[in-house]
Every structure is written in structure tokens, then in C-alpha cells.
Structure 1
């Protein structure tokens, strides 16, 4: 009986082993294929990025052709820093509005953007470009403004291909989304620009809805070392138009002006935001410090009702996307308390 069934059992066992081996080979093939596909993804991405260049960009002087994806980008317009850091770039050279020590690059709000850049070089401070440092940085591409950088425009083009942004058509002071969109076009990262602008607009709409029942006027002032500046509605549209805040009734509110304590008392806003420019460096004095012990200050409606809020003026009262995004969040949190 055992002898009769042995060949049949042996044949069946062989068949099982054969099928198992085939299944194992198929599984190995799938694993290897999956590994190959994963490994090829970065190459495909790189190829996609490379395919976006060369590209021709219209600027204030005509057209500029960018032959290859730039690896080192210098921004010599001090108002453009925020906008560039939104994008995926490995190396940047920056001209700053203040000194490097005072720079908002060290702030918590900038940290996520700064950390993703492998190399940051400072090529200017206090709005002045240091041409020697710029030359030493050796950028592949320079981004500049035709008004701010007009005196050095010819020198810039000798260092690297330079895109001179038309500052009347693309005005960072009142419309940074248009600049971010332009940068997306220049860098071949239109999707990054669109995503950030869309999110900012959605955040504004949400904030406006949440503050719809806020009663009273709101004023913003820049607090410098020796002077205080009232922020005009033309330059703070994100708060007045975007968030629906009400400005104090005054002819000075449109453009803003240097303001004294007596001038602030005449405005007498219900809510007051002090945009400190020593927010990151307290060794620098704040002009309002000498106001706070006076009877005029104590009688302000905002002071009496505990509606005075300190914020980072360099960010919230600046002109770029990172600063404005911080400002909208900070203002909303303060006014919801």
C-alpha cells in the first residue's frame, strides 16, 4: 500500500515546491520593480525641473533668458527677501533692510524657511548692497527692482543674469502676491506661488469672518528707536481691507505719518498695535517707552480698556508674505481675546 502511493505523494510534493518557487520569484520581481520605481522618482523629478529651462522672462528692461535652473540666487532688493524664501532654493544671497543682527531671519516665524536653505549669504545691510560680497557670492541669477536698484543696475548685469522687476507693475509694497507669482514664473515653481497665495487669501477671509462683530477703530504704529510712525491704510491693506478692520477717522490715515503722543491721542483708537522694531533685539530702545508714564498715554481709550498689543513690527508691518502671514495671525489672536 505504501509502495503504491509513494510515487503519487512524491509527485504532488514536487508540484507544491515548484509552485512555491514560482510564487517566490514573482514576489521578488515585484519587490525589485517597486524598488526601481522608487529609485527613479527623484531622477524623474529632476528631469521635470530641468525641462522647465531655458525660460524667457519679461522684466522692466525687456526680456531675460534663464538658460538653466539657477542654483545660487541673489536678491538685492531688500523688500524681496520674504518672497524668495517661500520657494525651494538651496543657496541665496540676501541684501537686508537692517543689520544682520537685527534681521528677522533669526525669528521663529522665519525659522522654517531659513532652515530649508542650505546656504544663506548676506550681500548687503541697511538697504545697501555690498558689491564686493555680491561678487564673491558669485550668483547664477540676481533678482532686483528697477527703482530700488536703479543706480547699480548696470553693475549687476556684469556679475550674473539679472531680472529687473518692474516695481510699478509688480509692487511689493502694496501687493506682494503679484511678486510671489512673478518669482514662481522666474524659478519654474508656479505651484509653490499659487499654493501660498491661495492659503493667505483663505486665512484673510477666515479672520475677517471671525472679527465681523469687532466694535471700534484699530490703529497700527511702527515703534522705532527715536520715532513712531502711524501706518497708513494704503500700506496695511491686509488688516483693513483683508480682515475688515476699521481705521480711525483722520485724513492722515491713508498714507500715515510720523506721529507724536499728542497726535496719537487725537486719533484715540479703540485698539492699538505697537509694532516694535526692537522686538528681536531689546538692546535697541523703543520710542514709546517714554510715553507710557505720561497722563496723556494713560487716558488713551486703548490703554484704559487694556487693548494695547505689542507685535513684531519688522514682520507684521513689513511688506512680505512671511511677515504678513505672521501679522494676520497675531492680530487675530489679540483681537479675539
Structure 2
């Protein structure tokens, strides 16, 4: 009897032990609430990073397009830009292949500049499908994109032809000012490519540069700053409305302008002497090829030029105008950094 009693006791103990083990807490599964509270998945990757990566890789996806949303079935591999205004806005992204339309001829473009060349070189395939703002439909067809990004006004005349080549996402140029709101376009392209995180990084870097620059140049606020485009036979004033990244972003002051300033913004040396800004930013369009002439080359030899306040105070700054006064995060990032460094001395 004693042996039987001991046997029953052992059996009951084993049953209780098994029940306790089966009811103990289990390790959280990947993506569980417990894992998320610790800020990590079971893989050890931060939860927010993994969720962002999963979001970016989700296709099909709906994206904004002029006239309504469209659905992109697969993550695009070969992307063509029909609008010349979009070149810089696609360069920061990690795409295997792009085709671009250039604002000028390829020979005179800034693709070979030290600022853009590293971006161009990272693509496995980089094709030019248009020059002088015009799309070359034959080159575009030969390139064979699986997606086209175009401007609703810029490319309106070839809308049907583009949509026959490949699915086309239209940037609504009626709703978006491409010159002043290109940061929005960077975000849209990031969404189209499934690379929202990269777009956020580009935008954050730009806005942080502005914020830091505004603080550094706080002592210069109130001093007049004039930006001009320098061409071979003409110099043009850049209005604050066309360069908000500098005037608004850095808190710069536009000079009081003469009532006799031509409507097209073209500036003479005499007109410049009337404005007489504290700081003068010369945006050269021959910056990468100094053998090409610029109108200010002649101005600099005159006594009128030498009498300018900015010249006498050594506050004339030469920059690549195609980049710094163009459209996009690379050129204007370069412009911000160059100007902050020059003016902040």
C-alpha cells in the first residue's frame, strides 16, 4: 500500500509540473506588442525601422497624379523623367536605372559638376532621353522605361505619346510650384519609387542646413543681399519669390529696388550701382567652363564696379548658378552651404 501511495504522489506531482510549464509566458513573436514595447523585433531590428522598410516595399500602391490617384503594380526599375525640372529630384534615390530630360544640351549641363557627378555615377544605367527641355521620343522609346514621371503643364503636348510608352505619373503643376515647392516633389517621387525614408532624409538634411545657417547668419539680418544670374551677354536679378530657400530659409534681406528696374529683371552695371547691395551673389552659368565668357568679366574692369559697396567690403560671392539657382535638393544644398560659409566668416 505504501508503494502504491508513493506512486500516486509522484504521478500527481508530474501532472502539476506539466500544467505549470504549459501555462508559463511564451517569448513574444516577431512584431508582437511585447517586442514593440522594447523598441525591437525578435530579429533585433528596431521596430520603427522595420515597419518603414515594410511600408516602402509594399506594391501595388496608389500614388498621387494630376487628375487622380493611379496604381503602380510593381516597384519601378527603369524610370524616365519627361520634365527637365525633375532631374535633381531623382538623383538622391537608389534606383538601378534612370533616363532624364535636361534643361540644356548634354554638353553644357552640370551633370559633370563635382556636386552632381557622384550621384550620376552611382546608377547602373543613366540615359539622356531629352535635351533643351524637349523629350526625344525616339530615345525614350529606345530606353524602354517601366515608369515615366512627367509635368502636367511641361509635357502636356506629348501626353498621349508618353502614356503609350509606359505608365505615367503626372506632377500637378497647377497645384505645385515647381520652383518653390520642389521639396514636396521629392516626397512624391520617394512615394512613387517606394523610397519614402530616403526622401525624408533628403528633406530633413536640407531643412536642418537652413535652420543652422539662419542662426549663423543672424548678425547679417538687415544687410541687403542680391542674387543675380550671370550669362554671357546679360545679368538677371533673382527675385526673393524665386529663391525662398535662401531669403526665407536663411532670413536674408532683399535690397530696395529702383523703380526703373526693367520688368524682365535684366540688370545693367549702372542699375547695379543704384541698388548697391551689401552682399552680391554672382550665379555664373559658365561656372564649370571658365573659357566661356560672362558679362561681369567686363564689369569687373570698370571703376563703377570697384566702387560698389559689396566689392569694397569683399562681400561678392561666386557660385555655380545652374546648381544654386536651379531646382532640387543637390544644387540648392550646395548653394546654402557655400553661402553660409562665405557670409559667415
Shorter chain as denominator, the TM-score bin is: 0.7 to 0.9
Cα distance in 2 for partners of 1:256, 1:231 equals: 10
Indicate whether 1:98 and 2:104 are aligned. Answer: yes
SS at match of 1:259: coil
Cα distance in 2 for partners of 1:228, 1:51 equals: 47
Q: State the shift of 1:58 in Å.
A: 2.4
Match of 1:147 in 2: 153
Cα distance in 1 for partners of 2:291, 2:101 equals: 23
SS at match of 1:144: strand
Match of 1:297 in 2: 305
Runs of 5+ unmatched residues, structure 2: 1-42, 44-49
Match of 1:177 in 2: 183
SS at match of 2:107: coil
Q: State the shift of 1:251 in Å.
A: 6.9
- Measured at CA, do residues 268 and 133 of structure 1 come closer, stay the same or move farther in structure 2, by a change above 3 Å? same
Q: State the shift of 1:112 in Å.
A: 2.9
Match of 2:255 in 1: 248
SS at match of 1:311: strand
Q: Tell me the TM-score normalised to structure 1 length.
A: 0.82
Cα distance in 2 for partners of 1:114, 1:51 equals: 24
Q: Tell me the TM-score normalised to structure 2 length.
A: 0.81
Contact 1:316–1:327 (Cα < 8 Å) also in 2: yes
SS at match of 2:69: strand
Contact 2:63–2:70 (Cα < 8 Å) also in 1: yes
The structure 1 segments of at least 4 consecutive aligned residues displaced by more than 6 Å after TM superposition are none
Provide, for residues 145-199 of structure 1, a one-character-per-residue CA deviation record: whole Å limited to 9, x for no partner: 0111111111100100011110132322111110011111111111111111112
Figure out how many residues of one structure are paired with residues of the other and give that number. Answer: 294
Contact 1:222–1:274 (Cα < 8 Å) also in 2: yes
Provide, for residues 48-94 of structure 1, a one-character-per-residue CA deviation record: whole Å limited to 9, x for no partner: 58841111222113232211111110011111111111111110001
Match of 1:22 in 2: none
Choose from 257, 272, 277 the match for 1:264: 272
Q: State the shift of 1:315 in Å.
A: 0.6
Cα distance in 2 for partners of 1:249, 1:292 equals: 23
- Measured at CA, do residues 219 and 51 of structure 1 come closer, stay the same or move farther in structure 2, by a change above 3 Å? closer
Q: State the shift of 1:114 in Å.
A: 1.5
Runs of 5+ unmatched residues, structure 1: 1-36, 38-43
Contact 2:83–2:149 (Cα < 8 Å) also in 1: yes
